[in-house]
Structure 1
Amino acid sequence: MNAEDYTPEQMAGQRLMVGFDGTTFNAELKFLIEDLKVGGIILFARNIESPAQVAELCRSVQVCANGCGQPPLFIAVDQEGGLVARLKRPFTEFPGNSAMTGVEDADHFAAVTAAELKSVGINMNMAPVLDVAPLGFGSVMEGRAFGHDPAWVARLGCHVIKGLQAGGIMAVAKHFPGIGRTLLDSHLALPMVDLDPTDIETVDLPPFVAAVEASVSGVMLSHILYRKIDPKWPASLSVRIARDLLRSRMGFGGLVLTDDLDMGAVNRHFGISEIIQRIVLADIDIALICHKSPKIVQAYENLVKVMDADLQAVLAPTSSLRRILMKKKDL
């Protein structure tokens, strides 16, 4: 199907990536794919038992999507290694980014991880983490970052990106524009950063600039309020950060995703209708909702209204729908 053939309902669904309960294809997944027409799902430990089970789950959801006339689903997982790795043994377990001593480690991680994800039908990895964690700062990302030097983070991160994508797995760099200098966990509350834009450009942005140059498939936005860039909206809802900085200034034409909209940083401060309005305004492609909740249906309904009201913008050559469909052609 071409973008012009999509209904507002299909367009809305393609903008959603959602989590679910269970380890097998079930009524919940059937509803998400057939009724809400979601464009992607994300797997967590609660969905994973064994390689064979994951492979059957991924096969089943793709069969369902195909059977109801939908394009292939993005099937994502957080497989960073170390502290955040949803796939445990018998999948290969790595010590994580902070333990890498050179590009050989990054290449090995990417090659093995890509092969294992592809073997079970997963096509997107929410990795690598490109946050720069300063020494002695107590960063919330200290155990997950490659290190404290932007050039080092950029170098190893790009090796991971290129290795994953060479193996057929879309890489998603996170958490733009960088959360290495935050102490508060955005799962719980809304962290605020008072850094000058020039400081962010010197320390936090270089790994993401390198990722864009390496043709990373996706970039995930953080739920951090960078008050000297946008005093009102966190990056995940910010026109100034997502559209003006990432898209316009840095020239990123791939997929832009929010972090999980269930997290306290946004969930406690903004309603779903307001969130969806901001996502569309900021030229963000995919809203990520990682847990079963009424919020998924509410997000879908709000997106349908937007798609229906502004069909011309939705079908523009640079629109989110077209970016999503271009990525899905490779699947």
Structure 2
Amino acid sequence: MKTFSELTLDEQVGQRLLVGFDGTELTGDLRYLIDTLKVGGVILFTRNIESPEQVKELADALQGYAASCGLPPLFVAVDQEGGVVARMKEPLTVFPEGAPALNTVEAAQHFGRTTGIELSGVGFNMDMAPVLDVQPDGFSGVMEKRVFPGAPEDVGTLGVQVMACLEAEGVLSVVKHFPGIGRTTLDSHLTLPELDTPFAELMGADLLPFDTAFQAGASAVMLSHIRYTDIDREWNASLSPEIVKGLLRGRMGYNGVVMTDDLDMKAITCDMETAARQIFLSDVDIALICHRSDRYETLAETLKAMAEKFPGSHAISVGRILALKEKI
């Protein structure tokens, strides 16, 4: 695999893009995303999936085309949490109740191992899981059907088991949604939720599972789109220097790959140029955007301009991404 210095600036910038697409095969637009935008990864949704055999054929075609363009291997990602968020269906193993039913270490290991084997077998090398959000006792929020049961310590223990078992089978785990959305009732797909929970309270509960995962060597973390007003009153977490550079990387010492949640969500109220600048200034490595539009080009152009302005931090981010690709 090429090193950072062997990549052109356009290839370096492309590594920071993880994108969705339309279709179920290697289309002309997908080729363009790889050979021209030089994206570092793709994410599949139900619209891209017909069968395990078709997914494997698509994944192989994607990786083959990236290699023919002289690019590093692609992240081929999917949301496979089990329960209400599981893009791959039968004949793969279905865990209909998802994380709420994974209430023992053995259950978490079985999910992680089974999911890792099956995802790897059809060409995926990244799973946007596990969810490490904590739902307080007696609270009914937007994440109710997606969180592990129990106290923050239990969530951390179960999440790390899923994470480790996925990665043992060759599938990178992305823990989410930092710094925690278990207390929210509004959906960031539809609006910009705000959370006024005091920082000390977040530290004593919501952040504990993430700290456990970081201590266990979490490969990557996804940020939430929530605005945590006691930490940063201006920016939501995915665009916040206070949360990413200050809290995640500074106070908690995390030096792995950090990515946004989907920038198509309604919680992102600024334009894509502003979002790209904030991603760069916040020390976020990867911009995730899941629906094809000209915003892909806008992100790439703005990230390139920022990379030319701040080459040092850009090199560190791309270095993290390439190091993660070395794992697979």
TM-score range, shorter chain: over 0.9
Q: How does 1:1-331 map to 2 (within 5 A)?
A: 1-94=2-95, 95-266=97-268, 269-315=269-315, 319-331=316-328
Q: Verify the 8 A CA contact 1:44 1:77 in the aligned structure 2.
A: yes
Is the partner of 1:207 in helix, strand or coil? Answer: helix
Deviation of 1:101 after TM superposition, in Å, equals: 2.5
Q: Verify the 8 A CA contact 1:23 1:53 in the aligned structure 2.
A: yes
Deviation of 1:167 after TM superposition, in Å, equals: 1.2
1-structure distance, mates of 2:169, 2:214: 18
TM-score (norm 1): 0.97
Deviation of 1:203 after TM superposition, in Å, equals: 1.1
Deviation of 1:148 after TM superposition, in Å, equals: 4.5
For 1:259-303, what per-residue CA distance to the aligned partner results, in whole angstroms no more than 9, with x for missing partners? 00000000xx20111101110111100000001111111111111
Is the partner of 1:264 in helix, strand or coil? Answer: coil
Q: Pairwise CA RMSD of aligned residues?
A: 0.9
Runs of 4+ in 1 over 3 A off after TM superposition: none
Q: Verify the 8 A CA contact 2:191 2:266 in the aligned structure 1.
A: yes
The amino acid that maps onto 1:291 is H
Q: Verify the 8 A CA contact 1:170 1:216 in the aligned structure 2.
A: no
For 1:200-240, what per-residue CA distance to the aligned partner results, in whole angstroms no more than 9, with x for missing partners? 00110000000101111110000000001001000000111
CA pair 101-313 structure 1, distance change in 2 beyond 3 A: closer
Deviation of 1:79 after TM superposition, in Å, equals: 0.2
2-structure distance, mates of 1:160, 1:312: 34
Deviation of 1:68 after TM superposition, in Å, equals: 0.5
Percent same amino acid at aligned positions? 50
The amino acid that maps onto 2:55 is V
2-structure distance, mates of 1:207, 1:192: 21
1-structure distance, mates of 2:240, 2:109: 34
Deviation of 1:42 after TM superposition, in Å, equals: 0.3
2-structure distance, mates of 1:168, 1:207: 23
2-structure distance, mates of 1:100, 1:17: 29
CA pair 312-247 structure 1, distance change in 2 beyond 3 A: closer
Deviation of 1:248 after TM superposition, in Å, equals: 1.4
1-structure distance, mates of 2:175, 2:287: 16
1-structure distance, mates of 2:300, 2:215: 33
2-structure distance, mates of 1:87, 1:27: 24
Is the partner of 2:92 in helix, strand or coil? Answer: coil
Q: Verify the 8 A CA contact 2:103 2:149 in the aligned structure 1.
A: no
For 1:26-59, what per-residue CA distance to the aligned partner results, in whole angstroms no more than 9, with x for missing partners? 1111010000000000010111111110000000
TM-score (norm 2): 0.98
The amino acid that maps onto 1:231 is R
For 1:98-131, what per-residue CA distance to the aligned partner results, in whole angstroms no more than 9, with x for missing partners? 0123111100000000000111110000000000
Deviation of 1:306 after TM superposition, in Å, equals: 1.5
For 1:114-169, what per-residue CA distance to the aligned partner results, in whole angstroms no more than 9, with x for missing partners? 00011111000000000001232221101000024101111100110111111111
Q: Verify the 8 A CA contact 1:161 1:214 in the aligned structure 2.
A: no
2-structure distance, mates of 1:147, 1:132: 8
The amino acid that maps onto 2:302 is N
Is the partner of 1:173 in helix, strand or coil? Answer: strand
Is the partner of 2:94 in helix, strand or coil? Answer: coil
Is the partner of 1:265 in helix, strand or coil? Answer: coil
Is the partner of 2:222 in helix, strand or coil? Answer: strand
1-structure distance, mates of 2:131, 2:320: 23
2-structure distance, mates of 1:101, 1:255: 28
1-structure distance, mates of 2:102, 2:149: 9
Deviation of 1:314 after TM superposition, in Å, equals: 2.3
